[in-house]
Structure 1
Amino acid sequence: MLKCYNIMKTNIINIGNSQGVIIPASLLRKLNLSNKSSIDVDVENGSIVIKPAPRQGWEEAAVQMHAAGDDMPLLADTQTDFDKEEWTW
C-alpha cells in the first residue's frame, strides 16, 4: 500500500455546477494517473478515498492484441477423460 507522509493542503473549488479538488501532479505520477484516468472515489472512516480504477487500458490492449493476431491460446486444448465422459456442461 502506498503511504504518503507529506500531507499536501488544497481547497475544494467550484467546477461548473460541481465542486472538485486539484490533485498535485506529483501524486498523480506516483499512481501512474493522468488527465483521463478512471478512478474510484469512496468514503472510508470519515475520509475521502481516491483509488485508480482497476484494469485501466485492458480493453484497448485487447483490441491491439487481436489486430496483431496475438490473442491465440497459449496452450492446446487439454480436455481429460473426465471432461469428455463425466462432466455435464
Structure 2
Amino acid sequence: MRLSVISIGNSKGIRIPKAVLDKYQIKDSVDVEMRDDALILKPVRSPREGWEEQFRQMHDNGDDRLLIPDVFDDETWAEW
C-alpha cells in the first residue's frame, strides 16, 4: 500500500485509511519501531494488557518475592 506524505503544520504525516485502522484496532496512537530501512507501526495496546497472566507466572515460578524488606530495622512506628 502506498500512502502520500502530507504537510501538517511544520511537520509531515500520513493518513491511514479507516479500513487499516479498524483491522489493526488502531485508536489514538501507534508505537513506531525504526529499522535500518523501514518504519514499523504497531497499535498501542492497554498498558497493562497481559499483566494478570504475567503475575500468575511470576507467582508460579516463585519470582514474586520482595527484593527489599518492606520495613527496615531502623524504622519506628509512631502511634497517633
Q: TM-score, normalised by structure 1?
A: 0.48
Q: CA deviation at 1:11?
A: 1.0
Give 1:55 shift: 1.6
CA RMSD of aligned residues (A): 2.3
The aligned counterpart of 1:10 is 3
Take 2:3 and 2:29, find their aligned partners in 1: how far apart are those partners?
21
TM-fit CA distance, 1:42: 2.2
Distance in structure 1 (CA, Å) of the matches to 2:18 and 2:36: 26
Superposed CA deviations along residues 10-56 of structure 1, whole A, max 9, x for unmatched, are 1111001000011111110011123xx12111212311111112325
Moved >6 Å (runs of 4+):
none
Aligned length: 51
Q: TM-score, normalised to structure 2's length?
A: 0.52
Q: Is the 8 A contact 2:26 2:44 kept in 1?
A: no
* 1:24 to 2:31 alignment: no
- d(CA) in 1 for partners of 2:38 and 2:30? 16
1:43-62 equivalence runs, <5 A: 43-55=34-46
Q: Which amino acid aligns with 1:39?
A: V
